[in-house]
Every structure is written in structure tokens, then in C-alpha cells.
Structure 1
Amino acid sequence: MDEEREKIPQTEAELEELVEKFEGKTRHLPGPAGQVIAAILVVMSLYHLWATNATIVTQIHRAVHLLFVLVLTFLLYPGWKDARTRIHAADVLLALASVVALGYILVDFNNFVYRSAIPNRLDMVFGVMTFLLVLEATRRAVGKALLFLVLAFIVYAFVGPHLPPPWTHRGYDLERLVGQLYVALEGLFGVPIGVSATFIILFTIYGSFLEQSGAGKFFVDLAFALTGRRRTGAGQAVTVASFLLGGPSGSGVATTVTVGAIAYPLLRKAGYDRESAGGLLSAGGIGAVISPPILGAAAFIIAEILKISYLEVLRMAVIPTVLYYLSIFMMIELDARRFGLRHVPIKAQNPWTLTVRYWYLLASLVLIPAFMLRGFTAIRAVLWTILLTWLTSYFRPETMLTPKKLVAALANGSKQVLNIAVTTAAAGIIVGVVNLTGLGLKLSDIIVSLAGESLILTLIYSAIALWILGLALPITATYIIAAVIVAPALIKLGVSELAAHMFIFY
């Protein structure tokens, strides 16, 4: 057992290293370089908090967001294996190129915005430069699978006339692609990056405030206190802790690693074998991605695409989330009989004592929907929740967001959005190409035709396609692509828009 204990992460640094193994490795830079990057991260968070109450042209706000994201991605995500300990000249050049390419939009915006049909030579140069920068950022922060998929869609836009039916289309030259994907609000600066710039970053800042206030430890302690006195307590504690910790963060990997570092030895002592213990921890991590309030960032994208309230998306997510966790609890009970699980004494405080002491951390989980029920917009609701999380942290010394912790919360909030923001930028290119070429309608017709216009078969074929796509891509990218390709097929057969998009997500 001691040998197994040594194999799991024990320190915060080890936890972070394991998370980065699956979500992308970032540089850890001491000294002046690290301080400069931390300052940029803090400025990024402050800008987005300020922007919630400012009047900013949509495309300018999205361009500023992407500028921050690209600069920080090139400075934080190494381009090759031996570049983790320092920033190379190439990284600085790419960051500066990002400032130039996106700064060009800001400097000439009043004229730029009217040239989507006929971009000029500078538009072409900086448009192509931005595409290449986004592709390189995608390779670094997300992975090669999404990079190759974006390249495939771009090639498809060029070679349409040379393809056989039903894939053929008129074909588009570079000028049209730059106009559609760079100048207009149809590609890079479309809905996906817009959601990242207005909703997702606010929630990552909120999650970072919770983390710095010690809410994560409280959620785990509360879960073990509530469930640790039963024979199935270890498994149930993992599930409850994953829900409480993962819902606000939206990160399945981080939730699995954090809970696993504490719970894996307990699961083994209770009688779980390695595979079953790992499976239970993974199931909890998946629950973090599909649970309110973030749904792995998809909740905001669904609301924006369908032009509905974020609260409506949360309402639709309640039943699937409850069913998912009920199924996990049922499997835990079955495993108790299959493995002959035994009770493991867990040193935990009284749950009532914990709740009374840290009630304000638990209350923060319901503040966002509570504000929205009072008529607040999603942006205003999360903004007030961030403010109240900061103020209530002073209720106890151990949760107090001191100036140092506050700076760390602001910096980590922006750092955590980088991977998602790059994903939405890359997915925006795909969405732009799909809309330009009509590929979404073509594929929906193909799916419906293959299914013989049977709704059941269409759902099955769609699920298989989504499963294959999800094996290689992050959940956000998978949903965005499926929303423009698979959803039309389901809607064509009479499925409501919201039901179709929720089916795609789950």
C-alpha cells in the first residue's frame, strides 16, 4: 500500500504536473519573466471584469481577448519539449506578431469592419498571420488533432469544385476566406470566441477565487464528513466531492487528480481494485464536465447559439446530471457487494460543524442561479458572485483572500481560460468554413439519408460520430463542431433545437 501511495501525487506541484500532462504543459518561470507574465495575466482578468460594465464594440472586445490569449499562450505553452524552463526568442516573436496582427484591427477598426467583402492587402497579410498564429497556439495548448482538423476544413474551402457530389461546392479563394474568417464576425471572432471573452473567463476567475479561498478543501472535507461513516463511504465521498469541486471548475482532469490524491488510497483500503478505483475517480471527473454551472464551458455556448437564457440551459441540465450521479451511486452499491467492500475509518469533522463554519463557501454555489432568478443577466450574476466570494472570504482568517491570494486568483483565472479560448478560436474557423460552404446542411442530409429518415437511427449515427470525434478533441471543440454539423439533422427530423443541442452535449 505504501508503494501505491508513492505513485500518486502528494504535493501541490505534483498535482499541477499531473493535470498539465493531460491539459497541456505550461512553463513555470521564476524571476522577472514570471513576474511579467503574472502581471499580464492579472491585467487580462481586470480588463474582462471592467468590460462587463463598459460599452465596447463586440469585435473589438473579442479581438482584445484573442490578443491576450495568443500572447500568453506563446509565453506559457512551450513549442517543443526542451523549452519548458525558459522563454525562447521564437516565443517572443510569436507573441509580438500576435500584438501586431490583432492590434491592426484595433487601430484601423472604423474602416476595417466595412471591408469583409473586399479585404485590402494589409487585411490579407494580417489575416493570414492571425490564422497561422491561432494554428500554432492550437498545436501548443490543445494538440495536433484539432490543428489537423482545422487545416482539413480550410483545405475543403479551397478544393470544393474538385470534389464529387455531395461534397462539392463553388470553392473560395484566400481573399474570401480572410473576409469571412478574419474581418467579419463569422469565423475567428464568431460566437465561440465571443462566449470565451464574455462568459467563460468570468467563470474561470470565479473558480479561481473559490480555489484561493480554500473552497476546494472545504468541499472535499464536507463530502467525506457526509458519507464517510458507511461501508460505501469511500466511493460516495469521491462522487460527492467530485460534484462539489468539479461543478464550479468545469475541469474533469483537475477534479479527478485533486480528489484522487486524497481518495485513491481510501478506495484501495475499502477493497476496490486498481481499475475500479480509477474508473470511479474518472466517472467523478466526467461528472464535473457535465454538471452545472459550467458544463465544461458548453452551457454558455448553447445559450448563445440558441439565443436563450443561461438559466434555461441549467434547468435542462438538472435531470441528466441527477441521473448521472444516481447511476454512479447505484454502481457503488453494486461494487460493495461485488468486492465485499469494508468500512474505512475516515478522519473527518462533523458535517454540521463544517457547514456552520464555512457556510459562505457553500452558499457561493447557488448565488449565480439565485441572482439570475432575481432578473440578473448571467454576466452580472457571476460578477456579483465573484465580488461576494471575495468579501465573504474575510469571514474567517484561513479563507481570507489577502492581496497576495487576490493577485494569484486573478492570474490563475486568466491562465485557466487559455486552453478553452484557443479551442474556441480554432473551432470558430471550422464554424466559419461550415457556414460558408454549406457543409452543415450537406452532412445533415447525408446523416438523415443514411438513417432512412428514422429518428432513432439518426440519433444512433449521431452518437457514434460524436463518440469518434470526442476521442480526439476537447469537449468544447466537439460540441461546437457537432452543433453546426449534427444538430441540423436532428432538427430536420422534428427534434427541438434545445433538445438537439443537449443530446449532442451529453
Structure 2
Amino acid sequence: MERLLFIVAIVGALYHLYLIIHPYTPISYWYRIGIFDLTQLQRGTHVFFILAVGFLLSYLTRWSILSIGFRWILTLVLTIASGFIAILSISALLSRGALAPALMVLITWVLSMVLPLARPLARRAPLEMSDIALAILSFIPYIYLVYNYQDLIYRAVLPEPMDIAMGWAMTFMLMGLVLRLVGPEMPILVCAFILYDIYGYLLPRPWFHPGFDVGFLAGKLYIETEAALLGTVTGVSAKYVVYFTILSGLLGALGYGGAMAKVFLSLLGRSPASVGRATVGLGIGMGMVSGSGAADTAFIGSTMKPLYRAAGYRDLDAAGLAANAGTLAYITPPILGSAAFLMVELLGIPYTWVIIMSIGPALLYAISILLYNGFYVRKTGIKPVDMKPDKRFSPLYVIPFIPPIIILTIVSLGYSITLAVFISIVLAPIIAILDKGMRNNLRKIPEGFAEGLKLLVPVGASIVMANIIMAMVVVSGLHQKFALALLQIVGGNLIYAVLFAFFFSLLLGMGVPPIATYTLASLLTAPIIIKLAVASGIPEEAATLATHMFLFYCAMLADITPPVALSAFAAAAVFGSDPIKVGVRASMVALPKYLYVPSFIWSYWGTGLLVLPLTLTMPITETFALMATRFAAVLAGTVFVSAANAGYLGCSLSMPLRILLVVFGIMLVIPSEILNIVGLIGGLSITILSMRLGISCGQE
């Protein structure tokens, strides 16, 4: 079965790579082949590979994610919710005498949603064979789509029974795949929005709507030009994400990550803080070639674990630092999280804009981790690691960083990010020849391509789920109803709206991946925030960019926010610590990030952290001072909050002083000149007391 998975994954990777060069081949001029030339069929093929590779991967991993008790209860809830949808679909099909389509829906629902309930109850049962069956069944709706595409576009409003069956079959398969590889939370959310679209007529105003039958929704899911399963959000996965995962898998197979680790470790100094600094450096380096916080956390944690223990770090603190360093992958250009590509599509902006806007927050995040590490080392008396670093710079050190440099260069020249990544994929093996260690890994190129498709599966399936959520929200008009309700709740106050969106995103992110969090938050809260920001005096373009970057970072925070905290779980697994405790510690290390993210959109000055909202909407001569003072204030606040977190600023800080430092740090982060001045004076006062006058600050 592993061999079959490898072959299917390789074919999927090569298909996507061929799509880049297809327009320039003679075939594109001689023949019109749907899966190569039509956007919807390209997306359909993309979804098919996600399903086929995903279920084969699920078979090999034995659904370990469903063995947790609470997850099993959520799976039961999901089965019941999806059962209502399945019963309605089957009833509608049987009423039209369509027995075969009804059986198709029933079989896919049972295999996808019912059998997982029995998985934790039996050690050896043929349940895993349902994955094989679903991998085979995934051909049916895909082939049906390819064969009938020209006819389907005319049947979106009045679909035929088999159209309905194929739409719901593919939907249940995707929900079943996400259930197996990610968890039941996101499929439950999808079912909730579908059921709202069906039963909205039972709700009071303002949430009332006439309701839609399952046939109409099947058209919205599967048939329309921008159908939910094949829409704009799915296009983000097919157009951007798959190429980054292929690049990530290829670089991993060639050993680029290990080469980066050697570079940072070879430059490791004798300072007690050097281990933490190397961790941050490695996090930034891995973030340049990967967009997976959990995967990077596992790699960084495994690489740095011996050094942390040699230096005397507690496992809990080391895991918290590793989780934060790994999360840098989401916000370190040029490869950002999948939500960044969705932002590009939704706003119609160049990807370079997102890269520019992400630089400042990424630097602040890295600095906050470094500051916490520095204060922690001084407080706990961490000793230098007994190593012999290589102080000589070698030109070979730049080799593992060439692929991200290529991407940045090509994108800055105005070419598409997809082309830039494709060129990096082509050149990566050639560059690897220059390094002796990576040269020996050239035979692993096929494994790298296959790994890239495997990395795509959970992310890509979640992205398609997010597209379903968006479609169901738009169909029912829920986004408009929610916006009106939110406007009444916040009373026209921008700060209240920002805080609502912040906590709404954090709460949502505790159960669903960042792409879904960003999709839903941007759909439900962004219009009101932008409207209130414009009313407060922020230019519309600046307000739009800042709002979406704010929601993007809120979605990213879920990676280290308990109870989900995927990066924290990865770090906990490496260090053998409690995941929730690691999540709490990681959140404390990242506390400055929780504070400055909402400030992006609190005022026009606050957008200065993102650079572009100011430079695009006011003369460049006036922006430098605003951005410089904004960064300086937030940086000072980050210093004070990090010191309070570690409990050290020249000497151990008592709890009252730590609380005061946090308050003064928050004042500096808020974009207000008066509060900044008060916060700076207060923070400096405590600093002088603890560092210059030598007054005892007490013990923690």
C-alpha cells in the first residue's frame, strides 16, 4: 500500500508541476484537454488527488487522531449532524426514483462518517479498508465531473439526481478525510453551516431565511462555475499551496533543513543565550522554505533538544521556545501560511505586498522570543554550552538559503509567486550538488515530490472545507446578518469591533485550522471593521490591508494557543512534556504578539507596523517618522513585557513589578502618544530601579 501511495503522490506532484509549463507546450496549441486547460477541472483534479492520496495516507496512519476520548464524542456529534444531511439527500433522491444515486450517497456517508466511530473500539477490524474503498470511490465524482463538465454548467439550478449524489458524495468524502487527518471540529462547523442553510426558516429574525433544499445546495457545492468544492478558496490550494508543499517536501528530502541547522549551530557562540538564539535563527531559516508551524517545530525541537538539555533549560521552557520558533514559519517570508494566498485572491493584491507587510511583525515576533530567552537565561543562570563553534564564514553557508532568495528575487521582479516557486523546485537539486551532504540525497528527489503531496493533503482538504463554509455563508446571507448584529453589539466603536474579532478568531482557531479561521473571520467581521476604520479617519485602502493582516495574524495565533496549539503539541511530543502546559508557556513567550496584533487597525498610526498601509496612502516623506516611532514604541513595550514574562530585569522581579511592567508595556503597544509616553516613563523607572540603583526587586 505504501508503494501505491508513493505512485499516486508522484503522479499528483508531476501533474501540478506540468500545469505550469503546459501553456508553453505544443500540446496546448494542438489539443484542448479539460484537466489541463479548464480552471474548474484543474481544481477538480486537485481535489481528487487530495482525496486519493489522503485516504491512502489515512490507511497507513490508522486514524490515530480519533483515539482520543473527547475527539470520539465530537465524531459522534459530527455523525449525527451529517446524518441529517444524508437522510435529506437520500430522501430527495428516492422521491425522484433515483435508487442508484441514493445508494451512492448512503455508501459514502457510512464509509466516511459512521465507521470512524467504531475505530477506537476495536484493535483489529476491517475498518481501515474503508479508506481503501473511499480512495477508489473518489474516482467516481471526479470522472463524472470531467466527463459531464460541459453539461453540468447548464444544470446548476436544476441538477439531475446523479449530479446531487456526486456533490454530496464528494462533500462527505472530504469531511471524512478531514475527520481522519485533522479532527472532527472543522467538519462539524461545515455541517452546522449546511444545516443552517437548510433549516434557516425555523429561526427567528434576524437569522431567518427561507431555507434551501439539498438539490439546490448540491449545485452550489459541486456544479456551479465557482462551486464550493471547486471555488476561489480551493483555487488557492491548487494555484499556490501545492507548489509550496512540493518545494518543502523536496527541500526536506534533499537535506536543506539539516544544512540550515548546521549553519546556525556552527555559528553558535559561547554566550549562555546562544542556544535560544540559534533556535530563533533556525526558525526563521526554516520559515523561509516551509509554511508548517507544527512540522518546523518538530524539526527544530529535535535538532536543539540535546543543546537545551546540555545548557540546563527546563524541558517545559525549551518546548515553549521551540514552539514559538516553529510558528515563525507562518509569518516568515517568502513562504507564509496558506491564508496569505487566500488574502491575495480575496483582495486582488500582489503577493509582494503581503511579504512587505509581514516583515515588521515577523521581526517583532522573533525579537520577543530572543528577549524572553535572554531574560530567562540571566534569571535561571543557564551555562554556556561547551561547543567549539566555527567562527570562519564559508561561502557554502549560503547554499541552503538560495531557494528562498530565488523566490524573493523573482517575485520582486514582478513575476508570479507560482512561477518563482516552480523555478526554485527546478533549481533546488542543482543547488544541492554544491553541498557534499545534500549531494548524496539527490536520489531522494522522487521521495521529496511524494512527500510534498502528502504535506498538501491535510492543508488542502481544510482549504476546500473553508471554501464550503464561505459558500454556505454567502448563500444564506449570514455574513450580512452577522455584520448587522456585530454593528449593534459594538455600537460603532472600532476598538470594540477589533477586540471582538480578535477573541472570535482565537476561539474559532481553537477548533479549526488557520485557513478556515481567516476565511470565516474575514467574511463575518472584516466588512464592519473596515467600515468603522474608515469612519475613524483611516483611508479605505489602508483600512482594508490592515484589517486583513490583523485577521491573518489572529488566525496564526491559534498555532500556539491552547487547547489546540498544534506547534505546542509538536514541541510537547519532542520534549515529553504536557501539551497544555507547553501551550500555556508558548503563549506566555508570545504574549507581545497577542498585544501588538490588534493594534494594527486601532488607528492610522497603528497601521505603521505593516508599512504599506501608510506608504500607499500618504506621502513617503511623512511616513518614515510615523513608522519609526511606531516600531520604537512597540519594541520598547516588547522589552518590558518579555522582562515581566521572564521575571527578570537586572534582578528577579516581584509579582507587583511584573504586573506593572506588563501594564506599561501594553501602554507602549497601544497607538496613542499619551499612553506611549506614560508607558515609557513607567517602564524606564522600573528598569532604573532594578538595574542601576541595585534595589532588591524581591523573588518570584
Structure 2 partner of 1:212: 253
Q: Spell out the pairing of 1:97-496 with structure 2 (5 A cutoff).
A: 97-184=137-224, 185-350=226-391, 352-353=393-394, 356-400=395-439, 404-494=443-533, 496=543
Distance in 2 (CA, whole Å) between partners of 1:351 and 1:385 is: 28
Output the amino acid matched with 2:482: L
Q: Is the 8 A contact 2:254 2:438 kept in 1?
A: yes
Structure 2 counterpart of 1:499, one-letter code? A
The whole-number CA distance in structure 1 between the counterparts of 2:520 and 2:363 is 26
Deviation of 1:115 (Å): 1.8
In the other structure, the counterpart of 1:42 is 10
Change (3 A) 1:156 1:347: farther
8 A Cα contact 1:224 1:346, kept in partner = no
Q: Give the secondary structure class of the aligned counterpart of 2:158.
A: coil
Secondary structure of the corresponding residue to residue 249 of structure 1: coil
Question: Could you tell me whether the CA contact under 8 Å between 1:224 and 1:233 is conserved in 2?
Answer: no
Q: How far is 1:394 from its partner? A: 1.9
The Cα offsets for residues 378-427 of structure 1, whole Å up to 9 and x where unpaired, read as 11111111111122222234212766311111111111100001101111
Matches of 2:432 and 2:308, distance apart in 1: 32
Q: Is the 8 A contact 2:264 2:282 kept in 1?
A: yes
- Structure 1 runs not aligned, ≥5 long: 1-32
User: What is the RMSD computed on CA atoms of the aligned residues?
Assistant: 2.0
1:67 is aligned to 48
Which shows bigger deviation, 358-367 or 471-480? 358-367
| Distance 1:90-1:301 versus aligned 2 partners, 3 A rule | same
Distance 2:267 2:486 in 1: 47
Q: Distance in 1 between matches of 2:478 and 2:402?
A: 46
Corresponding residue SS for 2:272: coil
Task: Write the distance in 1 (CA, Å) between the matches of 2:511 and 2:46.
Answer: 26
Q: Give the aligned partner of residue 28 of structure 1.
A: none
Does the 8 Å CA contact 1:112/1:183 hold for their aligned counterparts?
yes
Distance 1:182 1:202, change over 3 A: same
Give the corresponding residue for 1:13.
Answer: none
Give me the whole-angstrom Cα distance separating, in 2, the residues matched to 1:113 and 1:360.
Answer: 49
- Residues in 2 aligned to 1:215 and 1:494: alpha-carbon distance in whole angstroms: 43
Structure 1 residues 420 and 115: CA distance shift in structure 2, 3 A: same
- Aligned with 1:493: secondary structure? helix
- Aligned mates of 1:351, 1:72 — CA distance in 2: 45
Distance 1:212 1:462 in 2: 40
Deviations 1:164-222 (A, max 9, x none): 12211121111111111211214111122111111101011111221122110121122
The answer for unaligned runs of 5 or more in structure 2 is 24-36, 64-118, 535-542, 554-700
Q: Please give the per-residue CA displacement for 1:418-449, whole angstroms capped at 9, x wherever unaligned.
A: 00011011111101001111111221222222
Asked if 1 retains the 8 angstrom alpha-carbon contact of 2:254 and 2:445, the reply is: no
Measured in 1, the distance between the counterparts of 2:392 and 2:300 equals 18
1:358, distance to aligned residue in structure 2 (A): 4.3
For 1:65, the aligned partner's letter is H
Mean alpha-carbon deviation: is it higher for 270-279 or for 342-351?
342-351
Q: Distance between the aligned counterparts of 1:86 and 1:299, measured in 2?
A: 40
Q: Which residue number in structure 1 is paired with residue 547 of structure 2?
A: 500
Deviation at 1:457, TM superposition (A): 0.7
One of 118, 122, 132 as aligned partner of 1:92: 132
Q: Distance in 1 between matches of 2:380 and 2:487?
A: 45
TM-fit CA distance, 1:84: 10
Distance across 2 between alignment mates of 1:262 and 1:407: 25
Provide closer, same or farther for how the CA distance between residues 270 and 304 of structure 1 changes in structure 2, counting only shifts above 3 A: same
| 1:255–1:285 CA contact under 8 A, matched in 2 | yes
- SS of residue paired to 1:292: coil
Distance 1:474 1:83, change over 3 A: farther
Could you tell me the TM-score, scaled by structure 1's length? 0.89
Q: Give me the whole-angstrom Cα distance separating, in 2, the residues matched to 1:85 and 1:373.
A: 54
Q: Is the 8 A contact 1:246 1:289 kept in 2?
A: yes
Q: Structure 2-normalised TM-score?
A: 0.65
Distance 1:402-1:262 versus aligned 2 partners, 3 A rule: closer
Q: 1:165 to 1:246 in 2, by over 3 A?
A: same
Q: Residue 229 of structure 1 aligns to which amino acid in structure 2?
A: R
**How far apart are residue 328 of structure 1 and its match?**
1.1
Aligned to 2:659: none
1:234 is aligned with what amino acid?
A: V
**Whole-angstrom distance in 2 between the partners of 1:385 and 1:352:** 25
CA distance in 1, matches of 2:389, 2:518: 39
How far is the alpha carbon of 1:483 from its aligned partner? Answer: 1.9
